[in-house]
């Protein structure tokens, strides 16, 4: 029987609407928001998403390195100049700080950012596995954000975020015991410089027949795939692959074991993943489709008979994680396999952080008048 394409709107799912500000209008105090790392790829996405979702705030301040300080960006028609990130009192009146300037910067400036009470929602890997820092994906464990003794909330790795958003509705049907995942990660996962390098490589191939520019990646990426993302660990896995193991367990509060193979591919934006799970009890394709279609943050695109399945070209710039190719594992009656694709700069980074902020504003007494 062919698998039907099911599409469910955000409104039907009960997730945060595209323009959430009216929900908060009477509930929150005057808000001051900061972005640290405003000039980077994720920092720029923060600006777009905060504007698109009409994030409730009275003032926005931008911070960056010496290289970025002085640049000006337009937000909702107003020009804002990037301030130099320093150890001073610039964060004294800030309520929420979205930080995406690298793990080293986050570690160095965490105390400066949080010492006057600002909540630091950090996109780096600096604090993800610290016991006293919650690691949050709102569709899975939003309540963890309310318990943050250090005033820091960690944003997970992009590949982990996209996977657990889809695993969560399946976990509610039957406990997931094991996960095998292969990721197909685009150039943008390594930043704007990496995207430019991939484009330059294709240009060089067309013009000269050979690639000369190889700086950001360990090998030529154009017309190639590289089975390495981040550095190798003593157990043979890369750091990226171990993030998926450890972060999944922390976010979902699970004992499930996740074995990952993370691969860099030559698409420009949006990551994809091939996921296999083993559950305690069998989950039918129909059950999985219905659960995923109804889950916040997911869009089901599963009609292979009509060549409908998620692809990076179509998921780039979208908020949801798109899921398709859902099928029973023919080698394991408790196995289920599927394919997902999502924009790792949006849901895999900036959007997830902004959704954490939205949850806090609605549910944390700190932000109520």
- Residues with a catalytic annotation lie at 158, 271
d(CA 214, CA 204): 11
Percentages (nearest 5) of helix, strand, coil residues in the chain: 35, 25, 40
d(CA 78, CA 325): 45
β-pairing, 321-328 with 335-342?
Answer: antiparallel
Residue 359 neighbours by CB under 8 Å, 6+ apart: 138, 142, 145
Residue 220 neighbours by CB under 8 Å, 6+ apart: 201, 211, 214
d(CA 258, CA 241): 9
Q: How is residue 205 written in tokens?
A: 């191939």
Q: Find the angle CA(27)-CA(30)-CA(32) to the nearest 5 degrees.
A: 125
Beta-ladder partners of 277: 179, 336
Residue 367 neighbours by CB under 8 Å, 6+ apart: 27, 28, 29, 31, 95, 360, 361
DSSP code per residue over 18-34 = SS-HHHHTTTB---EEE
End-to-end CA distance of the chain: 55
Under DSSP, is residue 91 helix (H, G, I), strand (E, B) or coil? coil
DSSP code per residue over 201-266 = HHHHHHHHSS----SSSSS--TT--BS--SPBPTTS-BHHHHHHHHHHHHHHT---EEEEEEEE-S
Residue 1 neighbours by CB under 8 Å, 6+ apart: none
């Amino acid at each position: 029987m062919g698998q039907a394409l099911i599409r469910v709107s955000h409104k039907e799912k009960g997730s945060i609407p595209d323009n959430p500000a009216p929900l908060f209008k009477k509930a929150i105090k005057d808000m001051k928001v900061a972005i640290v790392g405003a000039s980077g790829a994720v920092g720029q996405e923060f600006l777009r998403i905060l504007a698109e979702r009409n994030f409730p705030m009275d003032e926005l301040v931008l911070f960056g390195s010496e290289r970025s300080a002085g640049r000006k960006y337009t937000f909702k028609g107003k020009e804002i100049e990037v301030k130099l990130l320093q150890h001073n009192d610039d964060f004294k009146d800030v309520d929420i700080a979205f930080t995406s300037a690298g793990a080293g910067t986050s570690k160095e400036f965490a105390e400066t950012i949080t010492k006057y009470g600002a909540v630091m929602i950090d996109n780096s890997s600096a604090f993800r596995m610290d016991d006293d820092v919650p690691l949050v994906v709102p569709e899975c464990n939003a309540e963890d954000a309310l318990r943050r003794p250090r005033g820091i909330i960690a944003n997970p790795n992009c590949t982990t975020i996209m996977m657990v958003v889809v695993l969560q509705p399946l976990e509610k049907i039957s406990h997931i015991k094991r996960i095998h995942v292969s990721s197909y990660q685009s150039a943008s996962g390594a930043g704007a410089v990496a995207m430019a390098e991939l484009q330059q490589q294709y240009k060089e191939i067309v013009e000269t027949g050979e690639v000369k520019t190889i700086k950001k990646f360990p090998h030529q990426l154009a017309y190639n795939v590289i089975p390495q993302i981040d550095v190798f660990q003593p157990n043979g896995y890369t750091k990226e692959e171990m993030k998926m193991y450890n972060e999944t367990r922390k976010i979902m509060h699970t004992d499930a074991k996740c074995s990952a193979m993370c691969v860099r591919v030559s698409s420009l934006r949006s990551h994809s993943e091939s996921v296999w799970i083993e559950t305690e009890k069998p989950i039918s394709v129909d059950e999985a489709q219905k659960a995923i279609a109804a889950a916040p943050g997911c869009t089901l695109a599963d009609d292979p008979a009509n060549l409908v399945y998620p692809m990076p070209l179509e998921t780039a710039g979208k908020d949801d994680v798109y899921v398709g190719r859902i099928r029973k594992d023919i080698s394991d009656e408790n196995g289920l396999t599927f394919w997902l694709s999502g924009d790792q700069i949006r849901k895999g980074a900036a959007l997830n952080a902004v959704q954490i902020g939205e949850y806090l504003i609605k549910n944390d007494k700190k932000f109520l008048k």
